[in-house]
Amino acid sequence: MIVRPKPNLISILTSLKGSIAKRIAWRALMVTLLASVIVLVEMWHPSYFSKVSATPFTLLGLSLSIFMSFRNNACYERWYEARKAWGDLLVEVRSMARETQFIQDEPARRRLLRSLCGFAHALNARLHRKDELAASTAWLDPVPGDIAGDLCGRILMQAGEQCSTLAESGVVNEWRYTLMANHLTRLTQVQAICERIKNTPLPFPYTLLLHRTIYLFCILLPFAMAEPLGWMTPVFTAIVSYTFFGLDAIADALEDPFGGDENQLPIDALVRILERDVLATLGDTPLPPLLEPVDFVLN
């Protein structure tokens, strides 16, 4: 995620970090060069363009803008829902830490809370297609015996078994056990939400139609502008292509909030916050440092 101060006028014009310009530069450049060629052809053979009207492009541009706004809103909603899910994960683990402060068996409490850190690490690795076991082993005691399939679910199941054991032994009462079990249930819901977002992209025909329409619009637009605008055509074509290609690329980046893009959610930083909260609750020092942005990017 890009983290930087509010840009001034100079930063707006010169900043590349976090800008979509690098990703769409070649596409916008090729369309601009095509517009220049079309202007040359119009100068040599003006009769070819005498009957080309800008009205269809006005209607198509308006429809395309509305269509793109729907897709961008849908992609941002996915990004924001993922962020809310990880916010809920922090809330549930912090609540669990509060519910367990009355447990007198300190080793049991430590195993339980550290396993929730292991769950966060495993879920982070799962969403980024990495090794879940390697990411979470340091926090698990014991490591689940059956690690095939859903390791995150197995960690929560093991945590539930620990809570049940504490309730059966009388360390926690039934009311507090119910609260702890509810927190684990909501952690399962967080996992399901994140997996749904990760594994269910926007419908491909929906995205493909928009991609094709943007390319057709930007390629055909200079034919309508060549006669009335002359050499200003490449300039306006560059502006229009930058806007449409840019909005399209932004939607692609937001569609997968757990991808490798600069605009992905800072899950590593959120997991580090969780680690610090749990370790502080357990009285461990020193705490690991908070992750800071590197070149304006917070992972």
- Give the mean pLDDT of 57-80: 84
CA 99 to chain centre: 31
Residue 264 pLDDT exceeds 70: yes
The C-alpha atoms of residue 248 and residue 20 are separated, in whole angstroms, by 10
pLDDT tens-digit series, residues 3-17: 656 665 555 555 656
Identify the pLDDT of residue 95. Answer: 92
No. of helices (H) and no. of strands (E), the chain: 10, 0
Identify the pLDDT of residue 197. Answer: 92
- Give the mean pLDDT of 120-137: 89
Residue 151 pLDDT exceeds 90: no
Identify the pLDDT of residue 91. Answer: 94
Helices assigned H by DSSP within 106-203: 106-127, 132-136, 151-168, 174-199
Scan for tokens 């637009």, then name that residue.
Answer: 221
Lowest mean pLDDT among 50-54, 59-63, 245-249, 281-285: 50-54
Does residue 86 contact residue 190 with C-beta atoms inside 8 Å? yes
Identify the pLDDT of residue 13. Answer: 56
Identify the pLDDT of residue 299. Answer: 67
Does residue 184 contact residue 156 with C-beta atoms inside 8 Å? yes
Tokens describing residue 119: 């769950």
The C-alpha atoms of residue 226 and residue 43 are separated, in whole angstroms, by 9
Does residue 105 contact residue 126 with C-beta atoms inside 8 Å? no
This prediction's pTM: 0.85
**Which comes out higher in pLDDT, residue 60 or 2?**
60
Query: Please, what is the Cα angle at 101 between 95 and 99, to 5 degrees?
Result: 35
Residue 39 pLDDT exceeds 90: no
The C-alpha atoms of residue 6 and residue 19 are separated, in whole angstroms, by 14
Cα–Cα nearest to 262, from 23, 85, 87, 12: 23
Q: E strands within the chain? A: none
Does residue 213 contact residue 67 with C-beta atoms inside 8 Å? yes
pLDDT tens-digit series, residues 198-214: 998 888 887 888 888 88
The C-alpha atoms of residue 299 and residue 285 are separated, in whole angstroms, by 24
The pLDDT confidence band at residue 90, using thresholds 50, 70 and 90, is very high
The pLDDT confidence band at residue 50, using thresholds 50, 70 and 90, is low
- Give the mean pLDDT of 243-252: 86
Long-range Cβ pairs for the range 251-254 (8 Å, 24+): 251/68, 251/71, 251/72, 251/75, 252/75, 253/20, 254/72, 254/75, 254/76, 254/78, 254/79
